[in-house]
Chain A
Amino acid sequence: DAKTTQPPSMDCAEGRAANLPCNHSTISGNEYVYWYRQIHSQGPQYIIHGLKNNETNEMASLIITEDRKSSTLILPHATLRDTAVYYCIVGDINDYKLSFGAGTTVTVRA
Chain B
Amino acid sequence: SQTIHQWPATLVQPVGSPLSLECTVEGTSNPNLYWYRQAAGRGLQLLFYSVGIGQISSEVPQNLSASRPQDRQFILSSKKLLLSDSGFYLCAWSILGQLQETQYFGPGTRLLVL
Q: A residues near B, CB below 8 A? A: 32, 34, 36, 41-46, 49, 87, 91, 93-103
Contact = CB atoms under 8 A, between A and B. Distances in A.
Contact of A102 (B43, B101, B104): B43
Nearest to B102: A46
Of listed A34, A91, A94, A97, residue having the most chain B CB within 10 A: A97
B112 to A, nearest CB: 14
B102 A100 contact: no
B111 interface: no
Contacts of B29: none
Interface of A is mostly: loop
Nearest to B101: A91
Given A96-B32, A97-B49, A100-B43, A42 B107 contact: yes
Q: Kindly name the residue among B34, B46, B101 whose own CB sees the greatest number of chain A CB atoms within 10 A.
A: B101
Contacts of B83: none
Contacts of A34: 101-102
Contact of A101 (B43, B105, B108): B43
B90 interface: yes
A36 B100 CA distance: 14
Interface in B79-114: 88, 90, 92, 94, 99-108, 110
Given A97-B59, A97-B101, 5 more contacts: A43-B106, A46-B104, A96-B49, A97-B46, A100-B44
Contact of B108 (A42, A94, A99): A42
